[in-house]
Amino acid sequence: MKRPTGDAPDAGFPVQLSDEEWRKKLSPDQYQVLRHQATERPGSSPLNHEKRAGTFVCAGCGKTLFESDTKFDSGCGWPSFYQAKDGAVAVREDHSHFMVRTEVLCADCGGHLGHVFPDGPNPTGLRYCMNGLALDFKPKT
């Protein structure tokens, strides 16, 4: 797992936990992704193959982020979506790795989810490329 350097997002979000509380709540890999902007290996998430109806929620705080009908196979190796739920995510400019990208964060806990790119399908033209470790899937019942 790639572990970029940088401060974890921790200010200005409604859900606030101490670093120790995050460490207890999350697996070590989830902690690195959500709190320290790490990236899981491409193709490693079982959520890449999830096709059931349901919702994808933040693994950190449980906020609903994406509906399953917005998921698509982008071929990038990470779960991809063309639209987030209204108010579910926040974005900020990411200057890591000698490039400029748009980082996607959970709007409630500030957890790092992945990045969004302007090369997705209609109707939005966006590709939310998310770390599977940052997500939990809740099947429709």
Query: For every residue of 64-83, which 3-state class applies, written as one string?
Result: EEEEHHHEECCCCCCCEECC
Which pLDDT score, from 0 to 100, does residue 8 have? 40
> Which residues belong to the active site?
129
In-domain check, residue 11: no
* Host domain of residue 75: 19-139
Domains: count for the chain:
1
Which pLDDT score, from 0 to 100, does residue 6 have? 37
In-domain check, residue 133: yes
Which residues share a beta bridge with 89?
A: 106
d(CA 60, CA 53): 21
In-domain check, residue 35: yes
Which pLDDT score, from 0 to 100, does residue 11 have? 61
Which pLDDT score, from 0 to 100, does residue 99 have? 79
Supply the CATH number for residue 82's domain.
Answer: 2.170.150.20
In-domain check, residue 58: yes
In-domain check, residue 8: no
Has this prediction a pTM greater than 0.75? yes
pLDDT in tens, the chain (141 residues): 333 333 444 468 999 999 999 999 999 999 999 999 999 999 999 999 999 999 999 999 999 999 999 999 999 999 999 999 999 999 998 887 787 889 999 999 999 999 999 999 999 999 999 999 999 999 998
In-domain check, residue 2: no
In-domain check, residue 4: no
Q: Is the dihedral of CA 127, 71, 12, 27 positive or negative?
A: negative
Amino acid at 65: L
Which pLDDT score, from 0 to 100, does residue 4 have? 36
In-domain check, residue 72: yes
